[in-house]
Chain A
Amino acid sequence: MEAISHAGTVLGVLAKDGVVLAAEKKVTGKLLDLSSAKDGGYGGSGEKIYLLNSNVIGGVAGLTADANSLVNYARTAAQRHLIMYNEDIPVELLAQRLCDMKQGYTQFGGLRPFGVSLLYAGYDPHYHFQLYHSDPSGNYSGWKATCIGANNGTAQSLLKQEYKDDIVVKDAIGLVLRTMSKTMDSTTLTSEKLEFAVLTVDPVTKQPKAKIYRPAEIDALLVSEGLAKKDEDTEMKAA
């Protein structure tokens, strides 16, 4: 629990036609090799936001090593459901699967619980778009907008003020980014410190579409939302 309140912020907002997830990256630096994040994989730089299944995006806060293990478990659980029922796992059921395991580690001595909180942004035909949060003890709950990690209290009160029940994805993206920029330590948002993802339903196929933004796409989004860095080191970079 303590580790999580210092971890990078992860923020989620549920909209009428989608779910938006953003996360603050902690491990950054000039020497960090991010080449795989540019064009490899499915987007994202793989620190905080993961594709758990084709209909669920997960955001993690806490001990990174524990989180990796939980992400792996979640993906396996989702595939187990797929093989049995030939359908994407319902979002709440996936959250339950993880919480069953997390709870187990609180009950027996000798083992340490997972120091990880997760946000699950997902879609299923039963309840459509959903946002869940789970903590290390194995409690989970559904939210319209919530935040985990450092400064989650500030972010949540901001979200409470600004959230509207009929919010659409476009406005939710703005809300998430604005809240994020106020919550984070750094003054301006860049792809270096931010991970971002949106889950919608494809209008043609009617299937859930998870989009985890690549660094370049995040920067483009920040420009279009008017939150990009308006500074002078563009010149310095060019020089």
Chain B
Amino acid sequence: MAADTTAARSIVKMKVDEDKIKTLSPHLLMAYSGEPGDTVQFAEYVERNIRLYQIRNLYALRPSAAASWIRRSLAESLRSRRPYSVNLLLGGYDTATHDPHLYWIDYLGTISEVPFAAHGYGSYFALSLLDRGPLEEGLATLKRCIDEVSKRLVVSPGNYKIKVVDKDGVREVEL
């Protein structure tokens, strides 16, 4: 089966080569955006906890379990003195059931499993395009979204890093 789960997108600020997609486990990617500082801190916290689970249990968390854990961490953080403001996309390939998953998670602890997703200003353009489009060719559709954002968004970012996760694991691709 060819999994077309693509987790990608990034917006450039001070650096033009900041990687905002973390590889959490061999078949799990997390793209994050939000308050600078919070994002990296929270992403590293998640990364290390997922890694700890993998070391303890010899197998990695499944995407659905990882998503639920991350959502819970954000929900608990929301009710703390200073919550993380981080929005996430989580994409992964479930090696136990052999199917891809994509989750949309925001800083309020909302989660939903979706066929396509986007965060940030670019999402207005990307989502309306994705609502219409056929989704068979994941990377081609992604390219159309990026082009649309570049065309219409005033503060459109210049560079993108794109990663794919499927049954073979994680890899970076160029469009």
Contact = CB atoms under 8 A, between A and B. Distances in A.
Nearest to A92: B57
A89 B94 CA distance: 16
Given A93-B57, A126-B59, A87 B68 contact: yes
Contacts of B65: 85-87
Interface in A174-194: none
Contacts of A84: 68-69, 72
A126 B96 contact: yes
A14 to B, nearest CB: 18
Interface string B57-85: 10101101110110010000000000000
A90 B57 contact: yes
B97 interface: yes
Nearest to B97: A125
A159 B38 CA distance: 57
Interface in A65-86: 83-86
B115 to A, nearest CB: 20
Contacts of A126: 59, 96
Nearest to B59: A126
A87 B64 contact: yes
Nearest to B111: A86
Contacts of A87: 62, 64-65, 68
Contacts of A93: 57
A84 B65 CA distance: 8
A86 B57 contact: no
A85 B97 contact: no
B68 A85 contact: yes
B69 A85 contact: yes
Contacts of A92: 57
A84 to B, nearest CB: 6
A125 B62 CA distance: 9
B59 to A, nearest CB: 5
Contacts of B59: 126
Contacts of A125: 62, 94, 96-97
Interface string A11-23: 0000000000000
A85 B57 contact: no
A90 B62 CA distance: 11
A84 B73 CA distance: 9
Interface in A82-121: 83-87, 90, 92-93
Nearest to B72: A84
Contacts of B57: 90, 92-93
Interface of A: 83-87, 90, 92-93, 125-126
Interface of B: 57, 59, 61-62, 64-66, 68-69, 72, 94, 96-97
25 contacts: A83-B72, A84-B68, A84-B69, A84-B72, A85-B61, A85-B65, A85-B66, A85-B68, A85-B69, A86-B64, A86-B65, A86-B68, A87-B62, A87-B64, A87-B65, A87-B68, A90-B57, A92-B57, A93-B57, A125-B62, A125-B94, A125-B96, A125-B97, A126-B59, A126-B96
Ranked 6 nearest A-B pairs via Cβ:
A86-B68, A125-B96, A85-B65, A87-B65, A85-B68, A126-B59
